[in-house]
Structure 1
Amino acid sequence: MTYQFLQIEQDAQVATVWINRAELHNAFNTQVIEELHTCFQAINAQDDIRVVILAGRGKSFSAGADLNWMKAQGEASAEENQADALKLAKMLQSLATLKQPTIARVHGIAFGGGMGLASACDICVASTDAKFATSEVRLGLAPSTISPYVIRAISARQASRYFLTAERISAEQALTLGLVHEVTAPDQLDAKIDDIVQAILLGGPNAQASSKQLIQLVDQHVLNEELLIQTAQHIAHIRQGIEAKSGLTAFLNKQSPSWIKTTA
């Protein structure tokens, strides 16, 4: 299949999905989300693929949502807004529930939805230059659809800090938080990922798929349709609000949002 914003490379049993919107730091809009969802569904049906690597072209893994797209959705009808948010929720679910083991190859920034993508993968390997953030509150938004995956990765206690402060998280901090499994020098990133790939290939594919299902079964926050709808409703409601519209407009115009008070 031909994609506009993705490049798929397959080397034997390993598929690498490159998000290819480098000029915008691989920020995603409706089309990128739809392409990722379609791609993950197709890969899930391929028995010749044993491991999936998710990566970003250019300087960054992913800056998350394209803010012009988010602003437009906030101005759409309530029904259109929620339907669009649900597409993002379902795309993340399709990544998180792939039968194949998944590895996030993170370099540069992984903000907002980019941190969500990294959290939805089974394994995350980051270069020392990687930076993470749930940056939504600084735009008047909330990390709604990514929350099941980020909270699962770093715990609710840590999320209660980073969801509220939107502080940037270094690769080493992400390792401590449990978001990242390995941190390596940029020129060693692919070698470290290959080590993990080779370890995965030693296991049985059906056993690994079953093990992934087991983790979801045992984990207290099982992903289901109700949770997807709830998180989609959550972001759809917030981005139609005055604060989100103000925050997105201010960011796009390189201005301070209305809730930041300047002193004389």
Structure 2
Amino acid sequence: MTSQTIHIAIDERGVARLSLTRPEKHNALSAEMIDALTEAASDLRRDPGVRVVVLAGEGASFCAGGDLGWMRAQFDATRAGRIIEARRLAMMFKALNELPKPLIARVHGNAFGGGVGILSVCDMVIAAATARFGLTEVRLGIIPATISPYVIARIGEVKARPLFLSGKVIDAWQAHAADLLSRVVPEEALDEAIEAEIRHFLAASPQAAARAKALVRSLGMPISDELIDHVITQLADTWETEEAKEGVTAFFERREPSWR
């Protein structure tokens, strides 16, 4: 697989480092990156030599959410076009969520919107104490629809409500209290903490770990094709509202939306 948006390196132990490589864009999710991550999840799933996957971002941020160009294209697209793009994103999250290998998120800098969605499909999330998090979509007049099944599966409805409804940005300790994060460590200790967890996962039988992950998923919140269709429709409906038009326009014009 060739892509300028991600990079995969696999060491002799079978630990795959899956890196988001758009540092100049704070690893925002473009159409190319979405496709590359979906393909990477498929490749890593099929590789019997891969035991553990660490997902990280290069540069100053983990993932700042949707790419501005990609967002602008959604604003100008037809309803059918928006549904196609929302499904592209949904299939990426589904592929990562169903990866039959331990998936660890290494989080630093900002994780907003789709970045929170990515860490929500990981089995363990270790974040630097300096990291910040936010489901900021409502500040643009839209909703975190495509990622919502995975975020709610991770933190539950009660803890999701204030984050979904306000769009506020929270620090790492608040994100840990909300169950978005497994551990918070000083930024300089991030790699050491990741390595410690890798050793635990490598001690497990690969096939048993895969079966255990599938078992846990089967007993948790079901994320069916019907649910994915539902949230995609919700997003398409929201993009057609006047507030979405105002919020996204205000964002690109670098001004406050009318409701503020």
TM-score (norm: length of structure 2): 0.97
Distance 2:208 2:192 in 1: 25
Match of 1:169 in 2: 170
Q: Does 1:205 align with 2:201?
A: no
Q: Does 1:60 align with 2:61?
A: yes
Match of 1:7 in 2: 7
Distance 1:17 1:249 in 2: 34
Cα 1:247–1:68 shift into 2, 3 Å? farther
The aligned amino acid for 1:148 is P
Distance 1:102 1:138 in 2: 30
Give yes or no for contact 1:131–1:169 (8 Å, CA) kept in 2: yes
Cα 1:36–1:213 shift into 2, 3 Å? same
Q: Does 1:40 align with 2:41?
A: yes
Distance 1:27 1:240 in 2: 23
Comparing 122-131 and 240-249, the one that deviates more: 240-249
> Where does 1:1-264 land on structure 2 (aligned, <5 Å)?
1-12=1-12, 13-219=14-220, 221-260=221-260
Comparing 155-164 and 231-240, the one that deviates more: 231-240
Distance 1:225 1:202 in 2: 34
1:89 alignment partner, SS class:
helix
The aligned amino acid for 2:36 is E
Shift of 1:75: 2.1
Distance 2:223 2:145 in 1: 14
Give yes or no for contact 1:67–1:248 (8 Å, CA) kept in 2: no
Shift of 1:236: 2.0
| Consecutive unaligned residues in structure 1, runs of 5 or more | none
Distance 2:241 2:70 in 1: 15
Question: Alignment length, in residue pairs?
Answer: 259
Give yes or no for contact 1:53–1:103 (8 Å, CA) kept in 2: yes
Distance 2:187 2:34 in 1: 27
Distance 2:125 2:228 in 1: 23
Distance 2:113 2:149 in 1: 13
Shift of 1:235: 1.3
Distance 2:235 2:22 in 1: 24
Comparing 240-249 and 29-38, the one that deviates more: 240-249
Distance 2:8 2:196 in 1: 21
Distance 2:77 2:179 in 1: 37
Give yes or no for contact 1:62–1:110 (8 Å, CA) kept in 2: yes
Distance 2:235 2:142 in 1: 7
Give yes or no for contact 1:71–1:239 (8 Å, CA) kept in 2: no
Distance 1:248 1:26 in 2: 20
Q: How big is the alpha-carbon RMSD for the aligned residues of Structure 1 and Structure 2? A: 1.0
2:73 alignment partner, SS class:
helix
Identity across the alignment (%):
39
Distance 1:31 1:240 in 2: 25
The aligned amino acid for 1:208 is A
The aligned amino acid for 2:233 is Q
Comparing 250-259 and 98-107, the one that deviates more: 250-259
Shift of 1:208: 0.8
1:155 alignment partner, SS class:
helix
